């Protein structure tokens, strides 16, 4: 582990150098970052999926009505948050000490976020609406 990114720091006794000494070591394992970001993507994708499925199935839409004043949105929100939290826990445990190719996990995250954005867009999910 590297202590700080700059090797030419004068570790004197000034307040500035005292602050620099307080810098935490760099976390080299990129797994936790991949887990957190991918879980965010999965939460977004879940919101999109639940929104579109609710349009495609009136029975499913009714089942999502967990809290009457809010309607089916309550179930979509609960589902998305559950997916987000659970996937963060699972991925976090699996990847906690791993050094991963962050770019690959970022691409996966962007694909999942794009799914979330596309399937929460009314003209898209209206294509699946059962009248």
Partner 1 sequence: MELSSRELWTVVHGMILGAIFLLAFAGGVAELLGLRSSYETPLGELKSSRRLVEGTWVMAVVAWLTVITGTFFVYPWYRAKPVSGADLIHYPRSYLLANPKMAEWHNFGMEWKEHVAWLAPILATAVAYVTWRYRNKIATDPVLRRGLIALFSIAFFAAGVAGVFGAFINKVAATR
Give the residue with the Cβ less far from partner 1, 9 or 128: 9
User: Using CA atoms, how far apart are residues 44 and 104, in angstroms rounded to an integer?
Assistant: 18
Contact status, residue 79 vs residue 46, Cβ threshold 8 Å? yes
Least distance from partner 1 to the Cβ atom of residue 94, Å: 17
User: Using CA atoms, how far apart are residues 44 and 38, in angstroms rounded to an integer?
Assistant: 10
Least distance from partner 1 to the Cβ atom of residue 62, Å: 16
Least distance from partner 1 to the Cβ atom of residue 59, Å: 20
DSSP string, 52-84: HHHHH-HHHHHHT-SBTTTBHHHHHHHHHHHHH
Strand partners, 67: 71
User: Using CA atoms, how far apart are residues 25 and 23, in angstroms rounded to an integer?
Assistant: 6
Q: Which residues bind partner 1 (CB under 8 A)?
A: 4-6, 9, 16, 19-20, 23-27, 32-33, 36-37, 39-40, 43-44, 47-48, 51, 67, 69-71, 73-74, 76-77, 80-81, 84, 102-103, 106, 109-110, 113, 116-117, 120-123
Least distance from partner 1 to the Cβ atom of residue 80, Å: 6
Give the residue with the Cβ less far from partner 1, 57 or 74: 74
């Amino acid at each position: 582990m590297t202590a700080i990114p700059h090797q030419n720091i004068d570790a004197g006794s000034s307040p500035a150098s005292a602050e620099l000494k307080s810098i935490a070591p760099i976390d080299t394992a990129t797994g936790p970052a991949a887990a957190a970001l991918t879980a965010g993507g999965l939460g977004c994708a879940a919101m999109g999926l639940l929104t579109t499925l609710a349009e495609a199935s009136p029975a499913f839409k009714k089942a999502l009505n967990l809290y009457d004043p809010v309607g089916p949105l309550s179930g979509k929100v609960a589902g998305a948050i559950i997916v987000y939290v659970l996937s963060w826990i699972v991925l976090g445990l699996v990847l906690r000490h791993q050094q991963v190719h962050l770019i690959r996990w970022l691409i996966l995250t962007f694909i999942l976020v794009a799914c979330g954005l596309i399937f929460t867009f009314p003209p898209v999910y209206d294509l699946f609406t059962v009248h």
